[in-house]
Chains A and B, each alone.
Chain A
Amino acid sequence: MKRLPTRSTVLIILVLLSLVGLTLDQNEDLLPIEDLALRFVVPVQEKLTSLASSISDLTQATQDIRELHRRNEELQGLADSLMIENVRLKEIESENETLRRLLGFTQANPTHSYKAAEVKGRVIGRAPSNFLSYLIIDSGSQQGIEKGMPVVTERGLVGRITDVGSNWAKVMLIIDPSSSVNALIQTSRATGVVEGQVGGSLVMKYIPQGETVNVNDIVLTSGLGGNFPQKLIIGQVTAVHQRDIEMFQQADIRPTVDFNNLEIVLVITNFLPDDFERLVP
């Protein structure tokens, strides 16, 4: 007799077993065997399921971390750009506010024409010495700036142009020790000369004895001498020094302009100081 191939034998046996199993299962005769088998399989299955779940969680967590990292980078980039935008807008707002105040000043003083010039505070800004008070602004002869022109802000007199280049100009501040401005007290109309001091303060000298000068009086430019226009605010009297033995009174002045925080100034371009040297024969 010809022997059947082993594979076919196994197949037949498996089919027969399946048929037997189906028949027994119908009558629930397989339950004990099933119970016995599953008693060993279930714990292993539990462990395997738990392990698979952990691996799945780990994979998911890794993916989540990658996603969060990417998202974090996106949000960080967005936050950075928003911060830069915020800073830019604040700067624009600040500049807008300054320009608005300067515009108000020019509208209140329509007799002069002004040239707005930005102080190059962060580029070549200020005098290197502790004894001198100068600024360098980013407007020069190309913008119509000339030597001697007064420089102001909406808060008052800043100084005057001393040197002019094509696109820059040096401004001697009124607090410079070399600066002197003819001035008057607003209430009493007493005249004097406001001079800068080493260290950045102001003193009004040559106020005639007998003139009334009080603390908190406002000091304005008098226009005498033709170096500055009239009625520009210089500052406020903080102390008066009056001695009977002296010919003149003297007053300490607090400037209204904050010279340490100047960003934009106005150059009065239609005013040039009188040149008295021309009159000398």
Chain B
Amino acid sequence: MNIYATILLLIATVIIQTTAMPHLTIMGVKPDLVLLMVISWSLLRGAQEGVIWALIGGMGLDLLSGAPFGTSTVALVALSLLAGMGELSVFRTHITLPLIATLIATLAYDLFFLLLLHMQGCSIAWTDSLNKVVLPSTLFNVLLAPFVYKALYWLHRKTGREEIAW
């Protein structure tokens, strides 16, 4: 997929994440659209393209987040590398793969954030954080995963694999 189209798509997603998503909360949590897209694309196209999506999406999130710059980028790049291994799986076209990948990725992403806050000296109420944020957001993301995966699968079929070049 063309790099400029990729940048535009991810910037639009980041803007939606920071404007529309706060109004679409369930149980006080909002879905992580960028995470869902990076994981889905990594599964469909492999780590090479997934990492580029993770870099662009992560930097967008870091710009608008209050967390230290690079937090989301590092987490997303690591997860896209892991998810990229799923590209080789024979179950790639099966719906369970994005569900399982999203489940693991969301848990890892959220725990990474909690650890980071803990390392910054914030006192973390672990049980409350798990019950009130991590588990609801994981459930929310898993529920949305098939739709995002389906949409990106369509994009994957439409665009075809090509070298990402500047």
Which A positions have Cβ atoms within 8 angstroms of B? 121-134, 136, 162-163, 170, 172, 176-178, 195, 197-200, 205, 260
Chain B residues with Cβ under 8 A from A177's Cβ? 117, 122-124
10 extra A-B contacts, CB within 8 A, seeds A121-B19, A128-B17, A199-B133: A121-B22, A124-B64, A128-B14, A128-B72, A129-B61, A130-B30, A131-B133, A170-B66, A176-B66, A198-B124
- The answer to whether A134 and B122 have CB atoms under 8 Å apart is no
1/0 contact string of B56-90 vs chain A (CB within 8 Å): 00000100111100001000000000000000000
A125 CA to B67 CA, complexed, in Å: 15
Contacts across chains A and B counted by CB atoms under 8 Å = 84
A211 CA to B72 CA, complexed, in Å: 42
Q: How many positions in chain B have a CB within 8 Å of any CB in the partner chain?
A: 32
Task: Give chain B interface residues in 1-46, CB to chain A under 8 Å.
Answer: 14-15, 17-19, 21-22, 28-30, 32, 34
Instruction: Say yes or no for B128: interface residue by CB 8 A criterion.
Output: yes
- The answer to whether A125 and B18 have CB atoms under 8 Å apart is yes
A130 CA to B34 CA, complexed, in Å: 13
Chain A: minimal CB distance from B10 (Å): 12
Instruction: Say yes or no for B102: interface residue by CB 8 A criterion.
Output: no
A123 CA to B22 CA, complexed, in Å: 12
- The answer to whether A122 and B19 have CB atoms under 8 Å apart is yes
CB closest residue in chain A, given B29: A130
A128 CA to B22 CA, complexed, in Å: 8
Chain B residues with Cβ under 8 A from A130's Cβ? 29-30, 32, 110, 133, 137
- The answer to whether B125 and A129 have CB atoms under 8 Å apart is no
Chain B residues with Cβ under 8 A from A133's Cβ? 66
- The answer to whether A128 and B114 have CB atoms under 8 Å apart is no
CB closest residue in chain A, given B117: A177
A130 CA to B21 CA, complexed, in Å: 11
Chain A residues with Cβ under 8 A from B17's Cβ? 128
Chain A residues with Cβ under 8 A from B32's Cβ? 128, 130
Chain A residues with Cβ under 8 A from B114's Cβ? 131, 198
- The answer to whether B22 and A125 have CB atoms under 8 Å apart is yes
CB closest residue in chain B, given A133: B66
Given the interface contacts A128-B61, A131-B133, does A198 sit within 8 Å of B117 by beta carbon?
A: yes
Chain B: minimal CB distance from A130 (Å): 5
CB closest residue in chain A, given B121: A178
Chain B: minimal CB distance from A88 (Å): 21
Which of A122, A124, A198, A199 has most B Cβ within 10 Å? A198
Instruction: Say yes or no for B91: interface residue by CB 8 A criterion.
Output: no
CB closest residue in chain B, given A178: B122
- The answer to whether A127 and B29 have CB atoms under 8 Å apart is no
Chain A: minimal CB distance from B18 (Å): 5
Chain B: minimal CB distance from A257 (Å): 16
A15 CA to B67 CA, complexed, in Å: 113
- The answer to whether A162 and B66 have CB atoms under 8 Å apart is yes
Instruction: Say yes or no for B129: interface residue by CB 8 A criterion.
Output: yes
A172 CA to B117 CA, complexed, in Å: 14
Instruction: Say yes or no for B161: interface residue by CB 8 A criterion.
Output: no
Q: Please, could you name 11 A-B residue pairs with CB atoms under 8 Å apart, sorted by A?
A: A124-B64, A125-B22, A128-B34, A128-B61, A129-B61, A129-B113, A131-B113, A177-B122, A178-B122, A198-B117, A199-B129
Instruction: Say yes or no for B120: interface residue by CB 8 A criterion.
Output: yes
- The answer to whether B66 and A124 have CB atoms under 8 Å apart is no
A170 CA to B65 CA, complexed, in Å: 9
- The answer to whether A134 and B19 have CB atoms under 8 Å apart is no
Chain B residues with Cβ under 8 A from A163's Cβ? 66
Chain A residues with Cβ under 8 A from B124's Cβ? 177, 198
- The answer to whether B128 and A131 have CB atoms under 8 Å apart is no
- The answer to whether B125 and A197 have CB atoms under 8 Å apart is yes
Chain B residues with Cβ under 8 A from A132's Cβ? 65-67
CB closest residue in chain B, given A136: B64
Our pick among A121, A178, A195 for the contact of B120 (Cβ within 8 Å) is A178
Chain B residues with Cβ under 8 A from A195's Cβ? 123
